[in-house]
Amino acid sequence: MTILQDYMDKHQGSAQKYQEALGQFPSGVTHDNRYASPFPLYVTHGEGALKWDVDGNEYVDYVMGHGALLLGHSHPDVVKAVAEQMARGTHLGANTEQEVRWADSIKALMPYVEKMRFHSSGTEATLMAFRLARAFTGKTKIIKLQDHFHGWHDYAMAGSDRGAPGIPASAWESMIILPAGDLGAVQRALESDNDIAALVLEPTGAHFGQLPLDLPDYLLGVRELTAKHGVLLIMDEVVTGFRIHPGGVQTLYEVQPDLTTLAKVAAGGLPGGAVAGRAEIVDMMAFTGDAAHDSVNRVYHPGTFNANPLSAAAGYTALELVAQGNINGNANAMADRLKTGMNSILSKNEVAGHAHGIASIVQLVMADCDCDRGICTMPHSEIKQAVAAPRVTALKRSLQNNGVDIMGRSAFLVSGVHTEAQIDRTLESFERALGEMRAEDAI
């Protein structure tokens, strides 16, 4: 039996749900990353590091809410906090104690944060960060690194290898796209253009470290260059915040950004985001009492679900657990066990490939590299080519057939509740998947 036929046989319920969804959504999905051929999985519930689909199949999960679930699915403390808040009100149309406690929990972990403003997503957070940077500096341009992802708004899509239907060309006139990892390119851009407001980046590299940066040297170099030229540094920690380190990448490497964007773990698995950083920048949104100033020069920011009580309760509960326990330590240890195990299996089976990554994010590349399996030194173009190869689709599908679900085509986002037994089960599934691929001449 082929991998594809096995997938179709084991997931007949998902196939049926997908046929229903095709009449409701474009391509039957509500997020581009969930599109899959011949159909995606339909999942009913999750608990801890496990989840189950409509056919009753159980998975060790490494999607983990697209990285939001550092505490795993349905953590009892988060469930309790959200349920109690729901009984008190989901939207009170007013300021709440919960939003203050949520902000306190962020500041307790991120020492460089002075003030913040909450949003409903990471995309909203980066959009506001760009606007604040332009308003504060009086300059118009933003430097963005090639392949780095900062949401789907018009400015963030600049430099994408995707098409741009619906985005006016003028939206990208204020964006400068530079090759990731090239400090010389940053220096030249800053020296030749005095209309640059900020530089934004994913601090571990594009796609949460799939295309790694040279850390910490690159971050330190960018910080030095931007500070020298009066340009703001925006660190997009939507994925890395509280995951790579309880205080984010900025705390791990002691690189102070001017603004930080947050979401995912920050909201405890519920919708929520934030722009945080230097008070004088974030206060561009503050009311001054000067009617003329406030109506013309203040950065406007509404949003019906900003700091909604449910997200606030989930957020502060999750972050207080991060601050109190060994969630990050366990996630990192399990990720290291997974990474070491996959590299051993690849070597034993003489399959070209390697697993790399830092902290609790493991990236699998089906191509050889002599890196230290931490920060990969393979050229980004070669990593992109390997990740896009047909064999990667076969591997993902075979892993799903064997009870493992991964993020996208190559990422394993490990939570603080994954166990050694679940990691070992994953490694067994990985080795079986390689055997099935070899039987089909996919590797």
The fraction of the chain above a pLDDT of 70, given in percent, is: 100
Mean local confidence (pLDDT), 61-77: 98
Q: What is the pLDDT of residue 401?
A: 98
3-state DSSP helix/strand/coil % of the chain, to nearest 5: 45, 15, 40
Which tens digits make up the pLDDT trace of 267-278?
999 999 999 999
Cα 431 to Cα 411: distance, rounded to the nearest angstrom: 17
Cα 127 to Cα 149: distance, rounded to the nearest angstrom: 12
DSSP state string for 148-204: ----SSTTTTTT-SS--TT--GGGGTTEEEE-TT-HHHHHHHHHH-S-EEEEEE-TT
Cα 292 to Cα 285: distance, rounded to the nearest angstrom: 14
**Cα 405 to the center of its chain, rounded Å:** 17
Cα 329 to Cα 359: distance, rounded to the nearest angstrom: 9
Mean local confidence (pLDDT), 150-165: 90
The fold of the 76-324 domain, in CATH, is Aspartate Aminotransferase; domain 2 (3.40.640)
Mean of pLDDT over the chain: 97
Cα 90 to Cα 217: distance, rounded to the nearest angstrom: 44
Of 54, 31, 22, 32, nearest to 41 by C-alpha is 54
Which tens digits make up the pLDDT trace of 182-230?
999 999 999 999 999 999 999 999 999 999 999 999 999 999 999 999 9
Mean local confidence (pLDDT), 148-155: 96
* Residue 119 pLDDT > 80: yes
Contact 183, 222 (CB under 8 A): yes
Non-local (6+) Cβ contacts of 255 within 8 A are: 203, 216, 219, 220, 223, 235, 249
Question: Given its phi and psi angles, is residue 270 left (phi above 0), alpha (psi -120 to 50 degrees) or beta?
Answer: beta
Q: What is the CATH number that goes with domain 3-73+326-439?
A: 3.90.1150.10
Which tens digits make up the pLDDT trace of 238-252?
999 999 999 999 999
Mean local confidence (pLDDT), 261-288: 98
Contact 104, 96 (CB under 8 A): no
* Residue 359 pLDDT > 80: yes
Which tens digits make up the pLDDT trace of 307-353?
999 999 999 999 999 999 899 999 999 999 999 999 999 999 999 99
Q: What is the pLDDT of residue 164?
A: 83
Domains 3-73+326-439 and 76-324 are alike in CATH topology:
no
* Residue 161 pLDDT > 80: no
* Residue 162 pLDDT > 90: no
Q: Delimit the domains of the chain by residue range.
A: 3-73+326-439, 76-324
Segment among 22-36, 157-171, 245-259, 398-412 with least mean pLDDT: 157-171
Beta bridge partners of 51: 46, 59
Which tens digits make up the pLDDT trace of 186-197?
999 999 999 999
Q: Which tokens in the block code for residue 22?
A: 């095709």
Cα 145 to Cα 235: distance, rounded to the nearest angstrom: 12
pLDDT grade, residue 141 (50/70/90)? very high
pLDDT grade, residue 163 (50/70/90)? confident
Pairing of strands 196-201, 232-236: parallel
